[in-house]
Structure 1
Amino acid sequence: MNDLKRILLKLSGEALAGDKDFGFDEATCLKVAEQVKQITDKGTQVAIVIGGGNFWRGRNSSKIIERTKSDQIGMLGTVMNCIYVSEIFRTLGMQTEVYTPFMCGAFTKLFSKDAAVADLNAGKVVFFAGGTGHPYFSTDTGTTLRAIEIEADAILLAKAVDGVYDSDPKTNPNAKKYDSVSIQQVVDERLQVVDLTATIMCMENKMPMVVFGLNEENSIVKTLYGEFTGTYVTV
């Protein structure tokens, strides 16, 4: 894994909330920042997408709000997450930029592939907030889209669970964990890695994924440098 020069790291919003289940857990965010600093100091370029589930989930947060507006609230949740985590990173001496697919005044930059890649080449950690900017697309799809656009070597999925299972390990104690699984198998068996739209995009563009548990000790660094215990999704 240490041959990856540019990665897109997808962080679960719920995982960043720690035990609080809502909002931010500063200690958890600091642990992420410390790990990202270690890998950027070694020359790996890092882009980050953060889900908004610690604030809002567009598709199931309300039965009375129209879906488009609900999704827009979720997009703004990811903007808050990225601005917050970006500032945590800055306290450790990293340079960062936050990009969105829509204007947010002076809070963020409007997404441009060329600008984002230039920032990565300059050693900055780049955050992609706001998903795709459109309703009916999850942050999984936004993650895959941005990874393909910036020509990342792989997507690293830091989740609340420690890999890919054949069923939900929270409800099935006998769920089988995969060390490696093909993207075709993910599609055929509807395995819960990313949503189907994002999975098809990864398949068509040969974008590998790596799934691991964010809350395991030093898991981001271990994933890149040889002590990986999650699941490889191969293409």
Structure 2
Amino acid sequence: MGKTYQRVLLKLSGEALMGTMSYGIDGTVVQTIAQEIADVVRSGVQIAIVVGGGNIFRGIKGAAAGMDRATADYIGMIATVMNAMTLQDALEQMGVPTRVQTAIAMQEVAEPYIRRRAIRHLEKNRVVIFGAGSGNPFFTTDTTAALRAAEINADVVFKATQVDGVYDCDPKLNPDAKRYQSLTYSHVLAHDLKVMDSTAIALCKDNNIPIMVFDLSRRGNIHRAVVGESIGTIVGDSCEVR
């Protein structure tokens, strides 16, 4: 058993919300994720969330199809707000007070991102969901997660994914792929391991924020991560490569 984290930044991909669907939002999956988050919040842990938009629109794919990259990225940011509002609704139906803050002003549906206000919400045990990425094109929601984690003084970034950690190569293509238990930031960057994009890794390294990568689909994993159980892969300066 490792340390228990008190304030965490949970990074969810948009794809995590669509379950087995090829597009959109699976309400049952959203309810399941919300229930896990609610259970952790009720234990006294402060949770902020950054959610992606790939289940609705991914900017880089739009650019690849011929769109202007900045325009495509802004559309992707708006998709993340749709996911954030969906998750907010699910959490509030479970009695968990939740605020959505967006990096692009949408005052009718969400608060603008204000760092001090976000921290105050967390101190009052409200879940804060950051939508619209960083508000800037050419930056991923992984980078946003690292940025917001640094801004709110989070203890850790949880990267909840569809695999159970970080591998030396794609486990779907190579059955002999090795899963790491722990890694240093430098090893991740030097070997271009697909944890988060390099800008996000560098931000976490510069601010000494550990990253934990684990399988979201296994029930209870968010709680296990919070209490420091050895699940998935942990990335940090004090970690060994193993």
Q: Provide the TM-score with structure 1 as the length reference.
A: 0.97
Cα gap change, 1:9/1:192 in structure 2, threshold over 3 Å: closer, same or farther?
same
Check if 1:16 corresponds to 2:17. yes
Q: 3-state DSSP class of the match of 1:19?
A: coil
Letter in 2 for 1:141: T
Aligned residues with identical type, % of pairs = 39
Q: 3-state DSSP class of the match of 1:212?
A: strand
Letter in 1 for 2:19: G
Alpha-carbon offset, residue 9 of structure 1 = 0.3
Alpha-carbon offset, residue 184 of structure 1 = 1.1
Q: Which runs of 5+ in 2 are unaligned?
A: 238-242
Q: Which residue of 1 aligns with 2:8?
A: 7
* Residue of 148, 151, 156 corresponding to 1:149: 151
Q: 3-state DSSP class of the match of 1:60?
A: helix
Q: Which residue of 2 aligns with 1:140?
A: 142
Letter in 1 for 2:25: F
Equivalent-residue separation in structure 1 for 2:10 and 2:58 (angstroms): 20
Q: Which segment drifts farther, 221-230 or 7-16?
A: 221-230
CA deviation string 1:130-179 (max 9, x = no partner):
11101000001111000000000000010011110011112222111001
Check if 1:96 corresponds to 2:98. yes
Equivalent-residue separation in structure 2 for 1:21 and 1:167 (angstroms): 25
**Does the CA contact (< 8 Å) of 1:12 and 1:160 recur in 2?**
no
Q: Which residue of 2 aligns with 1:164?
A: 166
* Residue of 94, 117, 124 corresponding to 1:115: 117
Equivalent-residue separation in structure 2 for 1:96 and 1:226 (angstroms): 25
Q: Which residue of 2 aligns with 1:51?
A: 52
Q: 3-state DSSP class of the match of 2:213?
A: strand
Equivalent-residue separation in structure 2 for 1:213 and 1:116 (angstroms): 27
Q: 3-state DSSP class of the match of 2:104?
A: coil
Alpha-carbon offset, residue 2 of structure 1 = 4.8
Q: Which residue of 2 aligns with 1:209?
A: 211
Q: 3-state DSSP class of the match of 2:154?
A: coil
Equivalent-residue separation in structure 2 for 1:195 and 1:94 (angstroms): 31
Equivalent-residue separation in structure 2 for 1:174 and 1:21 (angstroms): 28
Cα gap change, 1:153/1:33 in structure 2, threshold over 3 Å: closer, same or farther?
same
Equivalent-residue separation in structure 2 for 1:107 and 1:165 (angstroms): 39
Q: Which runs of 5+ in 1 are unaligned?
A: none
**Does the CA contact (< 8 Å) of 2:3 and 2:227 recur in 1?**
yes
Equivalent-residue separation in structure 1 for 2:52 and 2:187 (angstroms): 25
Alpha-carbon offset, residue 6 of structure 1 = 0.2
Equivalent-residue separation in structure 2 for 1:90 and 1:203 (angstroms): 34
Q: Provide the TM-score with structure 2 as the length reference.
A: 0.94
**Does the CA contact (< 8 Å) of 2:15 and 2:55 recur in 1?**
yes
Equivalent-residue separation in structure 2 for 1:16 and 1:90 (angstroms): 17
**Does the CA contact (< 8 Å) of 1:50 and 1:78 recur in 2?**
yes
Letter in 2 for 1:102: I
Q: Which residue of 2 aligns with 1:84?
A: 86
Equivalent-residue separation in structure 1 for 2:9 and 2:182 (angstroms): 19
Q: 3-state DSSP class of the match of 2:20?
A: helix
Alpha-carbon offset, residue 46 of structure 1 = 0.2
Aligned length: 235
Alpha-carbon offset, residue 60 of structure 1 = 1.8
